[in-house]
Structure 1
Amino acid sequence: MTGAVVVVLLLVTVLIGAHGVAAMRTTSDFLVASRRTSPMLNAAAVSGEYLSAASFLGVAGLVIKEGTGALWYPVGFTAGYLLMLALVAAPMRRSGALTVPGFAEARLGSRSLRRFCALVVVVIATLYLVPQIVAAGQLLTLVSGVDYWVGVVVSGLAVGITLALGGMRAATYVQAFQFALKLLLFAGPAIWLLLLAGPQLRSDLVAPPEFTHFTQDTPVEFRLDTDLVVAAPVEVVVDGIPTTLAPGAHHARADESWLFPAGAQVPALGGDRASLPIPGGTDWALPLLGSGASAPLLATWSVLVATALGTMGLPHIIVRFHTSPDGRAARRTAAITVGLLGTFYLATIVYGLLGTVLTPELHLSQGTDTAIVTLPGRVTDGATAGVLTTLLTAGAFAAFLATSLGLLLALSGALAHDLMPSGLRRLRLTALAASAAVVPAALLMVRVDVSAAVTSAFTVAASTFCPLLVLGLWWKGLTARGAYAGMIAGLVCSTGSMGLGAALGLGGTAGILLSQPALWTVPLSFTIMIAVSLGDHVPSWAEATMLRLHLADRE
């Protein structure tokens, strides 16, 4: 049944894309839907596009893995739209640009800066898009048993064909439809699961018990290579072979399945995951990220800066405000989006707490991203569990499709409009080619951590486009050289720091600053942009450009 629902969802997505063919005649139609999208429809589309795999599956999984401090992620995601509402939405729409690189050229008069911005779009979109396709493949494998590559190919083809057929207009209707679907299929099952849960389970949600012993025979299917530390001898079954684990360190290989008996003591995590809190434990309940680490407050601020400021710099979100009729409509879109996202994220708390109580073993296997679709089988059984799993799977797949459409649109615009200006036909072909190119990347990155990869995209966006937009929209003195210097510094430092952090695997404060560098790369980019611009010549037309960005819309 799950497979059939996913097929229907894919067909509806492609049919909506085909519906947009007749209305798409120009580049403006493809990229910004002719700027006629109403605030309510646009806000629903923005929300559908924004609520990706990281939101639908990742946040609940992070609550299991990192504790209640992980709820700072949705706070940052939603706060980004408040900043967008105050600083970006209306003046960005008044710029008249079709893309973020187009805005850079219109504001600062530099064609080379536009090309560089297009390359940054490609980096951000790739970092964000590949994990979506990976998660789609993993989800289909989990719920239907098909090979991973089948899910990846099907997902890539669906978004590529839909976008090539209908462009932004098709993406808007698909994303708005899928937001309504996600809200229904995410909040509905959460309420249903709470009603099915008995009084004891609902009581445990308030204060989840510490995961120190297995309460029943529990299989742990390791997704990645994992180091474990056993405190007492235990008999386990490893891929069907009974094995005795002596006290000490042990290594579980990726794709192995270990069956722990009821009553056995839960092994501790070793290696670079040793600092993760035990689900339900004292550190888990602390309201900061990385509570078991040496600098939890620093980690929390780093994530908040990356998610809130990164939202302002995501190219596939920024382009949404260009589809509004005017600046006032763009501002209304941002305001409505805040309310829609806040409503959706309430359900993540329910799933995170349910997962901590019912599937705490997922923190051992590094499979917390699958908690939501695993939960129905732990609360109930039979047909009810099957229906709930199907609903949640359809909602999760809708999340992948909606976000992937927006990212693919931004990627196609950067390649076929900003790097090499062209017409509608090349935009369509680029959408198909880009979706085809993402498939092999997703096949090679099957082990990627979806949440970590998405956070890295936010970090790069916060370190590059956020300073460009804030200063470009609000400071007359920004120059092309200043923007260039700041963006290069932000891009190199953010990507280099995250790469170095992954390679070295350091802990403590140094590890946080390397793996989550937004706390220092964003101020660095702002500082360099301002310093270089102050020593440069401001064009005479800069003031007139700024006036156009901030003059009230005509009635």
Structure 2
Amino acid sequence: MSPAVGIAAFVLVSVATAVVGFYGLRISRTTGDFYVASRTVRPWWNASAIGGEYLSAASFLGVAGLILLSGTDALWFPVGYTAGYLMLLLFVAAPLRRSGAYTIPDFTEARLESRAVRRVTSLVVVAVGWLYIVPQLHGAALTLRITTGLPSWLGSLAVVSVVCLTVVAGGMRSITFVQAFQYWLKLTALAVPVVFVLLSLAGNNTPPVADAALNPTSLPTAGAYQNISLMVALLFGTLGLPHVLVRFYTNPDGSSARRTTLIVLGLLSVFYLFPTVSGLVGRVFAPELADGGRADALVLLLPGRLVGGPAGELLSALVVAGAFAAFLSTTSGLVVSLAGVISQDVLGGSVAGFRLAAVLAAVVPFGFSLASDSLALAGSVGLVFAFTASTICPALLLGIWWRGLTDAGAIAGMATGALLCGGAMVTGTVMGSTTPGWLAQPAAWTVPAAFGVMVLVSRATKRRVPASVTRIMTRLHVPERKLATERTFVPGTSGR
């Protein structure tokens, strides 16, 4: 693909993102608009926006790359990414919306009546967000380098610049429009090239693509432990992703949150068909990418190789546009969620504070991305899921479903999960390819450890259970129509 085509694709998707974002600016006026879109986002629109921000670089590029490398072993990633939303539907979506909170720290402070819990939760949320943004910027750097030959850092800088522009302009309401648009762009950008690739292969005397899933490469495949640990990370990690959870605060009520989650399950299931097919086709027609360390570029390179000509150029441009939509939508969702936390805890919770926090939330991980090397995208995001599954998820699940949780238990559990999982991630980075499986995929032991410490410390500090626990649990679990009022109980946010 010529560099001009790649640059044009990026410019077009950036301009379209800015235009849609400024449309949201026209109707973003209040603090509620910036934080939770005034809680008026309907299920289909919200589901599209969730799909837009959730389907990140790991989904758009990384899944196909992993299937290229390891065949059926990699199918655990799309299965886990999708099944995590079933967990959200069953355990989190409606109660979290009924909480009336703006952010996850709002929820933990109100549930446990503790400023200390809020501060710890805020630190964890910021850490998770920054860890998640860095792979998006690495993906942008990879895409720009592969498709245009320009320096990698320009891709990261471009994504940060566009995200800051759209988030600062209109907050959550603006980003909702942007992310919904970007989900459908990403789906189109994967589906259309896959259809043309399959049509170009029809009738040719080529190996059956489906058989490629069973043909191992020379690379080692994951063992049973790593697959189980990966599923633990993806299933429980989805429950703690701050940019996903904040979306449920934008629904009008709990039943809308449940409908939103059901629609998301359908949207994700359709989307993951296409990177899976791309990975299987790549195992037959582009196996050399697995050995050249360019597996994550498979989706970008496949249309040009198998279709060719002007049609191949156009299809490649469409894929590049979809890739940048993935980087922009996920990064913008993370920046919005982090800006909400930083602005409320540090900058007073105003619109001006939100805007300043959004810039800080984007610039810091940009610096980290310049100072670090890109790993396999899906693998690096999988570690972020393990971290959030070991920290935010236990506090959220126990806070919603167990009356006995205390502030001391929540802090101890989150600290334990952060230290264990963070230590495993750092050790794995230092050891590289020699990392043992239990460190490469730590969720199978860090998540139970975090839950166990949280429960044991809470039982040892029973006297710290909030006196208001009955009222709060009633609000979380009784449908809105049965409540006399819908007044938020979150300290410091009521009436904003």
Would you say same fold, with TM above 0.5?
yes
Give the counterpart of 1:324 among 236, 242, 251: 251
Contact 2:39 2:251 in 1 (8 A): yes
- 1:201/1:56 Cα in 2 relative to 1: closer, same or farther (>3 Å)? farther
Contact 1:156 1:438 in 2 (8 A): no
Contact 1:43–1:333 (Cα < 8 Å) also in 2: yes
When Rg is computed on C-alpha atoms for both structures, the one with the higher figure is 1
1:248 corresponds in structure 2 to: none
Whether 2:178 is the aligned partner of 1:174: answer yes
- Match for residue 261 of structure 2 among 334, 337, 341: 334
Q: Conserved in 1, the CA contact under 8 Å of 2:141 and 2:153? A: yes
TM (norm. structure 2) is: 0.92
Q: Structure 2 vs 1, CA of residues 506 and 48 (structure 1 numbering), >3 Å: closer, same or farther?
A: closer
- Distance across 1 between alignment mates of 2:206 and 2:332: 38
> How far apart, CA to CA, are the structure 1 residues paired with 2:125 and 2:403?
24
Alignment of 1:200-279 (within 5 A): 200=204, 203-208=207-212
- Confirm or deny: 8 A CA contact 1:157 1:436 kept in the other structure: no
AA paired with 1:166? G
Is 1:37–2:47 an aligned residue pair? no
Structure 1 residue 438 displacement after superposition: 2.9
> Deviation at 1:185?
1.5
Name the stretch that deviates more: 421-430 or 79-88: 421-430
Q: For residue 257 of structure 1, what is the aligned residue in structure 2?
A: none
| Distance in structure 2 (CA, Å) of the matches to 1:100 and 1:458 | 16
Matches within 5 A, 1:282-301: 282=216, 292=221, 296-301=223-228
**Partners of 1:70 and 1:3 in 2: how far apart?**
31
**What is the distance in 2 between the residues matched to 1:127 and 1:540?**
36
Greater share of helix: 2
Contact 1:505 1:511 in 2 (8 A): no
How much has 1:436 moved relative to structure 2?
A: 2.7
Cα deviation digits, residues 98-143 of structure 1 (max 9, x gap): 0011100010011111111111011111111011012112201211
Q: Which of the numbers 308, 311, 334 marks the counterpart of 1:407?
A: 334
The code of the aligned residue for 2:397 comes to V
Partner AA of 2:102 in structure 1: L
The answer to whether the aligner puts 1:162 opposite 2:89 as a matched pair is: no
Distance 2:118 2:200 in 1: 54
For 1:213, the equivalent position in structure 2 comes to none
Counterpart CA distance in 2 for 1:455 and 1:540 is 38
Question: 1:97 touches 1:322 (CA, 8 Å); kept in 2?
Answer: yes
Task: Indicate the residue corresponding to 2:270 in structure 1.
Answer: 343
Deviation readout 1:462-487 (Å, 9 max, x if unpaired): 00111111110001111111111100
For 2:300 and 2:116, how far apart are their aligned partners in 1?
A: 46
Among 108, 112, 117, which residue is 1:108 paired with? Answer: 112
Measured in 1, the distance between the counterparts of 2:276 and 2:156 equals 29
Match of 1:517 in 2: 442
Structure 2 Cα separation of the partners of residues 87 and 17 of structure 1: 32
Between the aligned partners of 1:354 and 1:201, the Cα distance in structure 2 is 14
Post-superposition shift, 1:453? 2.2
Q: What's the CA shift for 1:174?
A: 0.5
Return the offset for 1:158. 0.2
- Give the structure 1 partner of residue 477 of structure 2: 550
Alignment partner, residue 488 of structure 1: 415
**Which amino acid in 2 is paired with 1:143?**
T
Q: How far, CA to CA, are the matches of 1:504 and 1:135 in structure 2? A: 23
Paired residues of 1:310 and 1:466 also in contact (CA < 8 A): yes
Counterparts of 1:66-465 in structure 2, within 5 Å, are 66-200=70-204, 203-208=207-212, 281-282=215-216, 292=221, 296-465=223-392
Check the 8 A contact 2:72/2:214 in 1, yes or no.
no
Give the number of the structure whose residues are more often strand, by fraction: 1
TM-score, normalization by structure 1: 0.83
- Give identity over the alignment, percent: 43
- Aligned residue-pair number: 476
RMSD: 1.8
SS in 2 for 1:324: coil
